[in-house]
Amino acid sequence: MHNPHIEKHFEASDTVRDVVIGMSDGLTVPFALAAGLTGTAMATSKLVVVAGLAEIAAGSIAMGLGGYLAARTDRDHYENERLREVRETVELPQKERDEVADVFREYGMTETDLKPVVDAICSDQKRWVDFMMKFELGFEEPDPLRARNSAVTIAVSYILGGMVPLSSYMFVDDLHQALVASVAVTLLALFLFGYFKGRLTGISPFRGGLQTVVIGGLASAAAFGLARWIS
């Protein structure tokens, strides 16, 4: 008996990218701030928590806004290019037909086989423009909700990531012990984050976890050193 061949493809790359952007910054920036404040003479756990929450609020808004604007820019660019293609199918139809034919020539189709295919595609303007956008320009139509979803995903991921290194200061009064605990939970969170990201994207989960720990650890160490140097 023949088992059907089912191809499994990962289709949430944009969402994962947004989670990675928000979570990685959320895990590193508030940690660096908390660690830098820990070394100051006037620092207390309450001060670190208040400053950390303020940074998380500001950072999540800024990161979310950045994600929204980036996705909105992609959408605007796609729409402008589509309008140009629509105009060209009206003003320069033969040139556009030749460009459709060129796509198929690259796949080895003969001139005899080309004509009915080109005629079929160009008989409907929407299908014609869709074809040119995808195969000439390499554009996929963006999700109309992409900008909003990107902003929310990045902001929420930043908040969740930022609460990890800050949580130790909420439960431990001794600043040194809180810092040690913060380092431990942040590295653990980085590993788990990389592990599950690896499972989603198809790479080795342990490799993904170790890579995230190394990269995130280096980023955190650099930010921590800079914060301590400034303070």
Q: Which of 59, 69, 68, 48 is nearest to 23 (CA)?
A: 59
> Quick check: 227 pLDDT over 80?
no
What pLDDT band is residue 161 in, cutting at 50, 70 and 90? very high
Report the share of the chain in percent with pLDDT over 90.
27
The pLDDT value recorded for residue 84 is 92
Report the share of the chain in percent with pLDDT over 70.
90
Instruction: Render pLDDT for 39-56 as a digit per residue (tens, 0 to 9).
Output: 666 778 888 899 999 999
Q: Which of 70, 64, 65, 15 is nearest to 162 (CA)?
A: 64
DSSP state of 144: T
> Quick check: 20 pLDDT over 70?
yes
For residue 71, the number of C-alpha atoms closer than 13 Å in the C-beta half-sphere is 23
The pLDDT value recorded for residue 193 is 82
Give domain limits for the chain: 13-76+145-230, 85-136
> Quick check: 15 pLDDT over 70?
yes
Record the pTM.
0.78
Question: 59-68, 97-106, 142-151, 198-207: lowest mean pLDDT where?
Answer: 198-207
Distance of CA 67 to the CA centre of its chain: 8
> Quick check: 8 pLDDT over 70?
no
Cα dist from 156 to 61, 90, 114, 231, whole Å: 9, 45, 50, 29
Cα dist from 164 to 49, 125, 142, whole Å: 12, 52, 33
> Quick check: 215 pLDDT over 90?
no
